[in-house]
Amino acid sequence: MLRKLILPLMAIGLLSLAVIHMVRAQQSPPKPPPPVEPARPPFAASLAGSGLAEPQTENISIGSHLPGVVQEVLVAVGQKVDRGAPLFRLDDRKLQADLKARQSDLASAEAQLARLNNMPRPEELPSAEARIREARANLGAAQDKFLRTQTLHSQTVVSEAELISDRQALEMAREQLARAEADYRLLKAGAWEPDKLVARAAVDQARTHVEQVQVELERLVIGAPIDGEVLQVNVRPGEFVGAPPGQALIVLGSVHQLHVRVDIDEHDIPRFHAGAAAAAMPRGNAAAQYPLTFVRVEPYVVPKRSLTGDTVERVDTRVLQVIYALPPETPGLYVGQQLDVYVDACK
């Protein structure tokens, strides 16, 4: 009797299991909670935009004035720098050698000008005065000889030729004295003023060349244009940088108060009001909500570049960029972070 009931009982059990499985399969599984709570608009009517956190000064891409090989990088990411602080330095060995050569040229030009300004040398005056005394003595001797020859010629003791020779010797002695006195006056007067002007011009030119090389040396040291923080360093010692470089060598910005650059779709521009309230929420943290302060509108509609990844998003649209200020010292936000921004559209 028991054997006759086994097969029907097994069939009934299997049928029950099949029915239970079919019933459970037709039931909808419960929806799991979202891994991240989505952002909710804080206003009754609002327009949404994608925002990007940026420094108050915007991102400043530091380049190089001159091409060259990087000798030393003087800052690190996250470092605070003051205006004018050196960021990195290019190889300056060639310009250092040029500077020494230019400084030598300047020293030579200054020495030449000093020589002209100090003329005559004190040692040269006694020699010139001695030549004058010598010329005067020669003139006196020539005069005495000519007078004697003239007296003897009147007595027909000497010939006419000897008288003429002594007269010429007397004239020569006079001219020699005149030349010695002229040389003394020339020596006493010092250098000619036009020669000094030429020497001064040579000094100015040499000094200008030195200053030019010094400026080029200063341009090899790239300094910070503002007080800010180093956000990114894309250069290493030994790398060659061009002018202009292919990428931002160092990114700098003032981050004590961040701004948000919001893209307002061109279709939402009629609903946008500059003075309307706005709020930003970091993606992945909808509980954090930051009130925004309007700064400015950039009155130039540009192609959209910040994409959200939505499958229905248009990539050929244009956007109006609006700048808002976040509260000072906002924790948990970084430059370049995307935020969901909502602007009150109620009139």
In tens, the pLDDT along 254-301 reads: 998 899 999 999 999 999 988 899 999 998 887 788 999 999 999 999
The DSSP bridge partners found for residue 253 are 229
Is pLDDT at 37 greater than 70 in this prediction?
Answer: no
pLDDT (average), residues 229-239? 94
CA 315 to chain centre: 36
Q: Does residue 240 share a domain with residue 259? A: no
Is pLDDT at 309 greater than 60 in this prediction?
Answer: no
Q: Does residue 142 share a domain with residue 188? A: yes
Q: Does residue 318 share a domain with residue 281? A: yes
Q: Does residue 198 share a domain with residue 121? A: yes
Q: Does residue 136 share a domain with residue 165? A: yes
Structure confidence at residue 254 (pLDDT): 92
Q: Does residue 269 share a domain with residue 322? A: yes
Q: Does residue 198 share a domain with residue 108? A: yes
pLDDT (average), residues 15-43? 70
Is pLDDT at 63 greater than 70 in this prediction?
Answer: yes
The reply to whether 336 falls in a domain is yes
pLDDT (average), residues 64-90? 94
Structure confidence at residue 263 (pLDDT): 93
The reply to whether 307 falls in a domain is yes
Q: Does residue 305 share a domain with residue 163? A: no
- Domain count across the chain: 3
The reply to whether 28 falls in a domain is no
Residue-wise pLDDT for 82-112, tens only, equals 999 999 999 999 999 999 999 999 999 999 9
Structure confidence at residue 2 (pLDDT): 57
Cα(126)–Cα(104) distance, integer angstroms: 34
Q: Does residue 295 share a domain with residue 284? A: yes
Name the residue range of residue 226's domain.
Answer: 66-91+220-251
pLDDT (average), residues 55-63? 92
Q: Does residue 141 share a domain with residue 111? A: yes
Q: Are 292 and 53 in contact (CB under 8 A)?
A: no
Q: Does residue 299 share a domain with residue 237? A: no
Mean model confidence pLDDT for the chain: 86
Q: Going by C-beta distance under 8 Å and a sequence separation of 6 or more, which residues neighbour residue 243?
A: 63, 64, 65, 66, 67
Q: Does residue 73 share a domain with residue 55? A: no
The reply to whether 10 falls in a domain is no
The reply to whether 281 falls in a domain is yes
